[in-house]
């Protein structure tokens, strides 16, 4: 039987997962492809580590040796950072290989260049594993929603953050302990700051934006916040109020502008992502014809991520084509928002401030309140004047209630003095 020769760049959590999946699912792959897939070479950084691989496999720290493998058809990439991943995959395409990557940092920055190169060379770039681990969102958008216009994407995109928030809430575990567990389970990035500070979810959102809209917002314009400031006390108060803290990545195109953010928000039981727990990710896509489509699955980990890469492999070898991509197209509703700079968001927010000098709640639309450890927790319905006040006080802890906030014109120049008094600004 003919062999399909492949190489692996990286042999950490994901690389080992791919190696294992190709072995445990050898028969299934043979049945689908009619040929056996064999890893011939593995690129690593540290050549001195022992690797548990078959004797015939070349393990090297020199990428040129990988490229010289005779008859190499597929390169799986699961290393870390923009470089050298981008250079390696560019060279692999030029050499005539199809490439399949899990590296979202690299792909968010260079995906378009790689896809263009692949198209010219009639090769394939698989990137299902870059976004939401084993959850099949990339091909759902690229292949199953080609005609639909996508209006918005709302998602939980970082498995580590969702795992931490779930375990803090449900088991009362401290942040650092759960993070350590997420690292042991292979969910976290090599530098977990990328997970807990929201960078990882940001990169994934940019990949989804490029795929859904054919473009991304200016990266600097996307509000990005991680979960490092979310405390056990906040989680407990919000739980009593019926909310969960979820780290949501959201993007919506409104005429010629994007509105996007990656940050912790409050969700109530009516929200579609309320039940997405632990390492699970979910992506809700709002479309012009199909309505709301939600895909959920394991967002991180060895085998779910390997699953995405191996499924990419079967796709390329069966169809021998690249993913369909949305071209940058004019959105349905014409008009510019440039002149609408005076808009703000109004609706429900949880606000936390010092309770010292707490004066009561007269005249402010306060839905819930609680004083705990010298802090006052307020659930407020925010008017335009209050929204301005919140925006101008970055030290104040503010959580948006997902689905309960909408845009409004800023008409009042006056600050809401009552709220100012209540939260002692
Ligand atoms: N973990 C997960 O659940 C998921 C991870 N990803 C992405 O997949 C990629 C790999 O993640 P993961 O397996 O968790 O990471 P690990 O840290 O577990 O493994 C990284 C691997 O890459 C190798 N490596 C790093 N830098 C280089 C380099 N410059 N040249 C050659 N090899 C290098 C390392 O070599 P050595 O062994 O010698 O140190 C190691 O084998 C990342 O881009 C990550 O963002 C995507 C989806 C899910
Ligand atoms: N560190 C990432 C891994 C998958 O992309 C996460 O936790 O989601």
pLDDT tens digits for the chain (425 residues)?
A: 689 999 999 999 999 999 999 999 999 999 999 999 999 999 999 999 999 999 999 999 999 999 999 999 999 999 999 999 999 999 999 999 999 999 999 999 999 999 999 999 999 999 999 999 999 999 999 988 889 999 999 999 999 999 999 999 999 999 999 999 999 999 999 999 999 999 999 999 999 999 999 999 999 999 999 999 999 999 999 999 999 999 999 999 887 789 999 999 999 999 999 999 999 999 999 999 999 999 999 999 999 999 999 999 999 888 756 666 666 655 544 444 444 556 778 889 999 988 877 776 666 788 999 999 889 999 998 887 787 778 777 778 999 999 999 887 766 666 677 788 778 77
For the purposes of burial, counting CB atoms within 10 Å of the CB of 64, is it exposed (0-12), middle (13-18) or buried (19 or more)?
Answer: exposed
pLDDT for 382 equals 85
Closest CA to 263 of 133, 158, 168: 158
Residues of the chain with CATH 3.30.70: 342-422
Q: Which numbered ligand comes closest to the C-alpha of 204?
A: 2
Instruction: Answer whether 268's CB lies under 8 Å from 169's CB.
Output: no
CA of 131 to the centre of ligand 2 (A): 8
Query: For a substitution probing ligand 2, which of 188, 282, 303 has the most ligand atoms within 8 Å of its CB?
Result: 188
Which structure tokens are listed for 311? 């499924």
Ligand nearest to the backbone CA of 304: 1
95 is known as an active-site residue: no
**pTM for the whole thing?**
0.94
Contact 233, 161 (CB under 8 A): no
| Cα 103 to ligand 1 centre (Å) | 8
Reported ipTM:
0.99
Return the ligand 2 atom nearest residue 160 CA.
Answer: 7
The residue whose CA is least distant from atom 25 of ligand 1 is 79
Specify the ligand 2 atom closest to the Cα of 192.
1
Q: Which of 46, 60, 78, when mutated, tests ligand 1's pocket best, judged by the most ligand atoms within 8 Å of its CB?
A: 78
Measured from the alpha carbon of residue 186, the closest ligand is 1
pLDDT confidence of residue 326: 66
**CATH 3.30.360.10 placement within the chain:** 137-297
Tell me how far apart the alpha carbons of residues 308 and 125 are, in angstroms, rounded to a whole number.
Answer: 13
All CATH 3.40.50.720 domain ranges of the chain, comma separated, are 3-126
- CA of 336 from ligand 1 middle (Å) equals 43
Domain 342-422 CATH assignment equals 3.30.70:
yes
pLDDT for the residue numbered 264: 98
- Record the tokens describing residue 103, joined without a space: 């590296």
Task: Give the span between the Cα atoms of 405 and 7, in whole angstroms.
Answer: 48
Burial (CB < 10 A; 0-12, 13-18, 19+), residue 401, is buried
Strands 98-101 and 125-126: parallel
Q: Work out the burial of residue 36: count CB atoms within 10 Å of its CB; fewer than 13 is exposed, 13-18 middle, 19 or more buried.
A: middle
Q: How many CB atoms lie within 10 A of CB 252?
A: 16
Ligand 2 binding pocket mutation candidate from 127, 159, 206 (most atoms within 8 A of CB)? 159
**In this structure, how many other beta carbons lie within 10 angstroms of the beta carbon of residue 310?**
24
- Cα of 319 vs centre of ligand 1, distance in Å, is 28
Peptide bond into 136 cis (omega under 30): no
pLDDT for 419: 80
> What residues are in contact with ligand 2 under a 6 Å CB criterion?
133, 158-160, 187-189, 195, 200, 299-300
CATH 3.40.50.300 is held by the domain 137-297: no
CA distances from 372 to 31, 172, 237, 246, 353 (A): 61, 17, 9, 22, 11
278 Cα: distance to centroid of ligand 1 (angstroms): 22
**What dotted CATH number matches 3-126?**
3.40.50.720
**Which is catalytic among the residues 5, 204, 246, 326?**
204
Ligand 2, atom 1, lies closest to the CA of: 188
Q: How close is the Cα of 163 to the center of ligand 1, in Å?
A: 20
From residue 4, give the alpha-carbon distance in Å to each of 22, 25, 33, 232, 365.
12, 15, 9, 51, 65
Q: Whose CA is nearest to atom 46 of ligand 1?
A: 102
């Amino acid at each position: 039987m003919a062999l399909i020769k492949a190489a692996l760049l990286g042999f950490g959590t994901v690389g080992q997962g791919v190696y294992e999946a190709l072995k445990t699912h050898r028969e299934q792959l043979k049945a689908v492809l009619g040929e056996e897939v064999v890893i011939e070479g593995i690129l690593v950084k540290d050549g001195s580590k022992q690797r548990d691989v078959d004797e015939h496999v070349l393990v090297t720290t020199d990428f040129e040796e990988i490229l010289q493998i005779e008859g190499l058809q597929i390169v799986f990439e699961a290393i870390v950072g923009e470089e050298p991943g981008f250079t390696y995959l560019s060279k692999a395409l030029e050499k005539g290989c199809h490439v399949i990557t899990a590296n979202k940092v690299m792909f968010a920055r260079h995906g378009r260049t790689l896809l263009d190169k692949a198209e010219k060379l009639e090769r394939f770039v698989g990137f299902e594993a870059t976004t939401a681990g084993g959850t099949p969102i990339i091909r759902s958008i690229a292949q199953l929603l080609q005609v639909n216009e996508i209006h918005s994407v709302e998602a939980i995109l970082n498995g580590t953050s969702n795992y931490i928030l779930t375990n803090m809430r449900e088991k009362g575990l401290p942040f650092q302990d759960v993070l350590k567990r997420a690292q042991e389970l292979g969910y976290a990035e090599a530098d977990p700051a990328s997970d807990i500070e929201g960078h990882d979810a940001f990169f994934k959102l940019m990949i989804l934006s490029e795929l859904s809209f054919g473009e991304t917002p200016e990266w600097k314009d996307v509000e990005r916040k991680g979960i490092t400031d979310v405390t056990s006390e906040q989680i407990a108060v919000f739980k009593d109020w019926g909310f969960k803290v979820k780290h949501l990545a959201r993007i919506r195109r409104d005429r010629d502008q994007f509105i996007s953010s990656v940050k912790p928000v409050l969700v109530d039981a009516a929200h579609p992502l309320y039940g997405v727990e632990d390492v699970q990710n979910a992506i809700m896509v709002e479309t012009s014809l199909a309505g709301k489509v939600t895909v959920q699955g394991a967002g991180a980990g060895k085998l779910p991520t390997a699953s995405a890469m191996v499924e990419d492999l079967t796709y390329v070898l069966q169809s021998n084509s690249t993913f369909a991509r949305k071209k940058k197209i004019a959105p349905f509703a014409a008009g510019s928002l440039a002149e609408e700079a005076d808009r703000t968001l109004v609706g429900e927010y949880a606000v936390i401030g010092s309770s010292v000098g707490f004066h009561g709640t007269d005249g402010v639309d306060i839905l819930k309140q609680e004083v705990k450890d010298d802090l006052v927790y307020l659930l407020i319905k925010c008017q335009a004047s209050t929204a301005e006040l919140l925006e101008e006080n970055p030290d104040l802890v503010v959580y948006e209630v997902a689905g309960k906030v909408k845009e409004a014109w800023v008409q009042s120049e006056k600050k809401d003095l009552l709220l100012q008094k209540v939260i002692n600004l």
